[in-house]
């Protein structure tokens, strides 16, 4: 594969080249990894940055409809929009969110949009590391906004927040009791809570739910990276396309403030540090995953299990095998 040529095509905004490059960074083959690292290094020199928006919400809150409506609005303003997914469930089921592009029928037909389903890797950590690189590829391809969707139970939100400049939590209208269903940790990650389905008979419930969450957010400690009145809760209707422009205006205001204060840059720097550490730790532990190392691990684990060796001695032998000591 000619990495220089692939890089040039990505920089020119070629979506097929982008798709091919994402497949490259998702590959586990060692030679692909070498190519991927070279490509990313080359593209990073262009210094292009998109606004990275993390988006979380449980199934049924209308995430796909929101992304479709919100994405179409941004495209209508002349912006280029990429949509990626981090899906903890796909690791188990082999399925993936965004698997069905028809859920975003209009957006997927836009030349200024790019939609990529979640890779089905064996664990969340692997998915996340490669998604971070897919985000970098989208930035190099000139996208203005990269939406990173997740449906999660806490851990995937943490990962997505480490990939994002701002984090949206999409909720459905609900009675007061159901407020408790959102984990405090996820609420604390959110920069903006959007209560969707503020239309038709659900509109008054949505308004009440939004007020409830606004109240709950006021109880959280103010974060240094937030201006006054953030994090905040808003109502939207993805179906009727109400409130989307207001939500986008709030996002832009937040980003402008953070950029002016330096928080935006600090966050990106901290994220780069974090992912560097993750890459190093992952690569060290990956030495245990070769077929030969697995066989040796299994042999020594059995020796420890039957009592021929203590776990400590067996570990020492494994490290000697890996030539680490």
- Point out which residues bind its own copies (CB under 8 A): 36-37, 40-41, 44, 47, 132-133, 136, 269-270, 272-273, 275-281, 283-285, 287-288, 297, 300-302, 304-307, 309-316, 318-319, 322, 324
Minimum CB distance to its own copies smaller for 36 or for 160: 36
CB of 80 to its own copies, least distance (A): 22
Angle between the N-to-C axes of helices 15-26 and 3-11, in degrees from 0 to 180, rounded to the nearest 10: 130
Residue number, 158 or 207, with CB nearest to its own copies: 158
Q: Is 142 helix (H, G, I), strand (E, B) or coil?
A: coil
* Identity of the residue, 229 or 268, whose beta carbon is nearer to its own copies in the bound complex: 268
Angle ∠(110,116,118) on CA atoms, nearest 5 = 155
Nearer to its own copies, 113 or 138 (CB): 138
Smallest separation (angstroms) from its own copies to the CB of 187: 20
Residue 114: how many other CB atoms lie within 10 Å: 23
Is the CB of residue 156 less than 8 Å from the CB of residue 87? Answer: yes
**Which of 79, 322 has the CB closer to its own copies?**
322
Q: Least distance in Å: CB of 37 to its own copies?
A: 5
Give 249 or 305: the residue with its C-beta nearer to its own copies. 305
**Residue closest to 258 by CA, chosen among 109, 60, 52, 59:** 52
Q: Which two tokens stand for residue 211?
A: 């007020």
Rounded to 5 degrees, what are φ and ψ at 65?
A: -65, -40
Instruction: Kindly state the smallest distance separating residue 125's Cβ from its own copies, in Å.
Output: 14
Contact 89, 95 (CB under 8 A): yes
Distances (CA, A) of 218 to 54, 110, 171, 231, 280: 22, 39, 17, 8, 39
How many angstroms separate the CA atoms of 108 and 103, rounded? 9
Residue 94 CB neighbour total at 10 angstroms:
8
């Amino acid at each position: 594969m000619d990495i220089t040529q692939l890089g040039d095509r990505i920089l020119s905004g070629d979506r097929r080249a982008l798709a091919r490059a994402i497949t490259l960074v998702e590959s586990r083959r060692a030679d692909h990894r070498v190519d991927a690292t070279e490509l990313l290094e080359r593209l990073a020199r262009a210094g292009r940055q998109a606004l990275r928006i993390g988006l979380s919400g449980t199934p049924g809150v209308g995430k796909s409809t929101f992304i479709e409506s919100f994405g179409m609005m941004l495209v209508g303003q002349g912006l280029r929009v990429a949509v990626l997914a981090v899906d903890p469930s796909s690791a188990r089921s082999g399925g993936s969110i965004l698997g069905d592009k028809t859920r975003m029928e209009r957006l997927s037909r836009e030349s200024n949009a790019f939609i990529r389903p979640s890779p089905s890797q064996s664990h969340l950590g692997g998915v996340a590391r490669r998604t971070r690189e897919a985000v970098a590829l989208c930035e190099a391809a000139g996208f203005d906004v990269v939406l990173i969707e997740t449906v999660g139970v806490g851990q995937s939100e943490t990962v997505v927040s480490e990939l994002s400049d701002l984090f949206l939590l999409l909720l459905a209208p609900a009675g007061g009791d159901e407020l408790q269903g959102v984990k405090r940790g996820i609420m604390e990650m959110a920069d903006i809570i959007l209560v969707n389905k503020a239309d038709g008979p659900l509109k008054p419930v949505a308004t009440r739910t939004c007020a409830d969450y606004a109240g709950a957010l006021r109880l959280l400690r103010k974060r240094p990276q937030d201006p006054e009145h953030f994090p905040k809760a808003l109502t939207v209707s993805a179906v009727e396309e109400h409130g989307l422009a207001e939500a986008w205006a709030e996002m832009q205001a937040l980003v402008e403030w953070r950029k002016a204060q330096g928080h935006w840059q600090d966050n990106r720097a901290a994220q780069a540090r974090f992912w560097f550490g993750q890459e190093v730790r992952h690569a060290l532990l990956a030495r245990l995953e070769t077929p030969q190392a697995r066989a040796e691990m299994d042999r020594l684990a059995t020796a420890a299990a039957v009592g021929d060796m203590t776990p400590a001695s067996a570990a020492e032998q494994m490290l000697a095998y890996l030539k680490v000591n």
